[in-house]
Amino acid sequence: MSQNVKIPLSLLNQAIDLLEYINVSDYDPTIVLEYDIVLSALLKKKQSLDLRQSYAKIIFAEDEDKRFDARMQYLQHKREISDYR
């Protein structure tokens, strides 16, 4: 059974930054594979959180113009994420 944990967003960002900084090219291929799996999962989670925040801007927009702008930014962000995957 898979369980989730809550961590501060700042810690998630620090972990991603640290993992992206580490050069694992000289390590055993098994470690490199595990590294890639972990980094990919954390990046996917960050993208999901960013997309959720972008969507929330649509919901809480003050007026129709801001809602339209927020929706366009959300759709652009969503497109960028789907292109990345």
Question: What are 28-67's pLDDT values in tens digits?
Answer: 999 999 999 999 999 999 999 999 999 999 999 999 999 9
Instruction: State the CB neighbour count (10 A cutoff) for residue 24.
Output: 15
Residue 40 inside a domain? The answer is yes
Tokens coding 39: 């980094």
Residue 3 inside a domain? The answer is no
Residue 20 inside a domain? The answer is yes
Residue 4 inside a domain? The answer is no
The pTM score is 0.80
Q: Is residue 52 a contact partner of residue 46, using CB atoms and an 8 Å limit? A: no
Q: Which domain holds residue 42?
A: 9-84
Residue 58 inside a domain? The answer is yes
Residue 80 inside a domain? The answer is yes
Residue 1 inside a domain? The answer is no
Name which of 47, 73, 28 is nearest 36 in CA terms: 28
Split into its structural domains, the chain has a count of 1
Rounded Cα distance, 12 and 7, in Å: 7
Residue 18 inside a domain? The answer is yes
